[in-house]
Amino acid sequence: MSDAVNVYNKKNISILAVLIIGFMLIGSFFDYQISLTLHDETNLFGLILAAYGQLPASLGILIGATLMIYVTERKMRVVTILSYAGGILLIVFALFMGVFEPISYLKDLVPAPVLAVITLILMLGLDAFVFSLVKHTPKYELKQFVKYIMFAVFVQMIVINIIKIPWGRPRMRMIAVTPEASFQPWWVIGSDMKETLMAMGVVAEEFKSFPSGHTASASCILFIAALPAICPQLKGKENLLFWIAIGFTLLVGFSRIFMGAHFLTDITVGLTIGVLINAFAYKMFIQR
């Protein structure tokens, strides 16, 4: 994969940097006003993308686990058993993650069993499709792709949650229904009102607005921009796939504003974290 095209090239990153800086500047001045205008938790666009916005992370784990089992050497019995067991556990974990979100958000609109079946068909179908594209790729390259996708998914989860807890930014949906709560700018770390409001019954989850985990998880779809490096049929489509992934991530991010879960700066930082981690993983595992 040494000839892999660098989708994180100067042009793509420059355009993306302009968007990110622009969003951060706008959000720094108008975060609350934007959310006040757009906040509508019954919005169908917001509900659907809230339900399926984190699917790329689950799908990434599923694809990575499937390929991990496929490339496992059968020479060393203990290693083979551990790889198979680990792969199966990751597949179960990914499918559970993928099904949980749609049910939690859409259960009042669609019966839970129907949502579960639809999501499982979607995930397994996409997993099978990606596998059909890369199954003839040399196993060493597939191993590198597995490392890339697993690194990108799990590291973004860890980084996002490390930041969320100490930052303690109140969510818009809580501010909207709690007179004692007030808006907190993104640059303020820690919330003076957290202990008081939690004593009143507000759950800790309502103080995890910054940064957006949904947006960071959605950015895991950037793995499609790495596929051309291991899939000859997709050669030359790296940049197109990169911007499709960025477009999807932004759609998911803006849907979170409708749901009152995040502000513009939250989703912008979530996107930034996701892109940086993917870029690092791409350089480390794919370009090398």
The closest alpha carbon to 37, from 281, 266, 264, belongs to 264
Give dist(CA 70, CA 73) in Å, integer: 9
Residue 5's pLDDT is 73
Give dist(CA 47, CA 107) in Å, integer: 11
Place of tokens 């690194």: 151
Give dist(CA 273, CA 277) in Å, integer: 6
**pLDDT band at 3; cut points 50, 70, 90:** low
The closest alpha carbon to 213, from 279, 262, 254, belongs to 262
The pLDDT tens digits for 246-255 are 999 999 999 9
Give dist(CA 135, CA 119) in Å, integer: 24
- The answer to whether residues 266 and 141 touch, using CB atoms and an 8 Å cutoff, is no
What residue numbers bound the domain in which 50 lies? Answer: 10-287
Give the residue-averaged pLDDT of 161-181: 93
**pLDDT band at 191; cut points 50, 70, 90:** confident
Q: Please state whether 159 falls in left (phi above 0), alpha (psi between -120 and 50) or beta.
A: alpha
- The answer to whether residues 98 and 55 touch, using CB atoms and an 8 Å cutoff, is yes
Which amino acid, residue 206? E
**Structural domain tally of the chain?**
1
Domain presence at residue 239: yes
Residue 135's pLDDT is 87
**CA distance readout (Å), 94 to 62, 105, 154, 191:** 5, 18, 12, 33
Give dist(CA 49, CA 124) in Å, integer: 19
Residue 84's pLDDT is 86
Give dist(CA 215, CA 213) in Å, integer: 5
Is residue 173 scored above 90 in pLDDT?
yes
Domain presence at residue 3: no
What single string gives the DSSP state of each residue in 138-163? -HHHHHHHHHHHHHHHHHHHHHHHHH
The pLDDT tens digits for 195-226 are 889 988 899 899 999 999 999 999 999 999 99
Residue 76's pLDDT is 66
Structure tokens at 105: 């958000």
Domain presence at residue 4: no
Residue 74's pLDDT is 72
Is residue 130 scored above 60 in pLDDT?
yes
Domain presence at residue 204: yes
Give the residue-averaged pLDDT of 175-179: 92
For residues 120, 161, 217, 98, the Cα torsion angle rounded to the nearest 10 degrees is 0
- The answer to whether residues 60 and 153 touch, using CB atoms and an 8 Å cutoff, is yes
Give the residue-averaged pLDDT of 33-45: 93
The pLDDT tens digits for 60-112 are 999 999 999 998 877 767 777 888 888 999 999 999 999 999 999 998 899 99
The closest alpha carbon to 169, from 258, 255, 256, 261, belongs to 261
